Amino acid sequence: MSILQVYQIMIQPIQETQDTAVRPLDLGSGVVIGGQEIFLMAGPCSVESYEQTRRTAETLAIAGCRVLRGGAYKPRTSPDTFQGLGLPGLEILRTVADEFDMLVITEALAVEHVPLVAAMADIIQIGSRNMQHNPLLWAVGELDKPVLLKRGFMSTISEWLAAADHVQSRGNRRIMLCERGIRTFDAAFGNTLDTNAIALVRQSTPYPVIADPSHATGRSDLVIPVACAGVAAGADGLLVEFHPDPQSALSDGPQSLPLSMVPAFYEAVGAIATACERDLV
């Protein structure tokens, strides 16, 4: 039975259902997601330079963050904007993460990127725009490597889980589902974090669920409260953008938190985690 079929059985609103146990996922280096601990995966939207990436990683590592995020390949809306450093960006991520004993999560934008990303990263991200790119899903499905699958910003939960089934159909069950916000009618923020989806998917699938408050809001002033909401809804991890100087960022500056906000982030979100009898690391 596919995970989509399990979900369709369990979402019947008139029936009492027991929670499906989330299958803890070992990401490596002692990072096991889907259990007591909520893991922060943080870093710049785009890898812009060694200095920018190292400064960000150092600040996050001191705070206790174990997973460094950063984009080497960027699926930007306009071709006239920064598209990422490509292979040099991957090499920077790996070098910096190794220095601070962190794991790397980064996006594979196309099938031809998968071997390069798999060689450099510990976790492969499939972005919102590629959620239904089946050949890419099949390619990561043939690896023994954790995959973070973002929900398409105009996709239903059923479509999201069907995409996870495409990964699983090729043998890879090391999947995390990432709610990154969906498009709604309000233009006050970038997208809307679907906390309903976080709670529902966590109780009706065996996959850990990650919340991305950065893309869900598009506004740095909303990232911390929305991260708190994600944790309260049951997220097992958070994917958050930090930058040494958001105003000069080559991508997603308005939604990136400055490094000076790292302690405040841990304090506020950690309090919600504690209230939920979990730990933010």
Taking the C-alpha atoms of residue 206 and residue 23, their distance in angstroms, rounded to an integer, is 5
pLDDT score recorded for residue 78: 75
Kindly report, residue by residue over 209-231, the tens digit of the pLDDT. 999 999 999 999 999 999 999 99
Alpha helices per DSSP H over the chain: 3-10, 50-63, 87-99, 114-120, 134-141, 157-169, 195-204, 213-217, 220-233, 262-275
Out of 77-91, 154-168, 201-215, pick the least confident: 77-91
Kindly report, residue by residue over 232-266, the tens digit of the pLDDT. 999 999 999 999 999 999 999 999 999 999 999 99
Taking the C-alpha atoms of residue 169 and residue 78, their distance in angstroms, rounded to an integer, is 33
- Give percent of the chain above pLDDT 90: 85
Q: Are 164 and 173 in contact (CB under 8 A)?
A: no
- Set out the domains of the chain in order of their start, with CATH numbers: 25-280 (3.20.20.70)
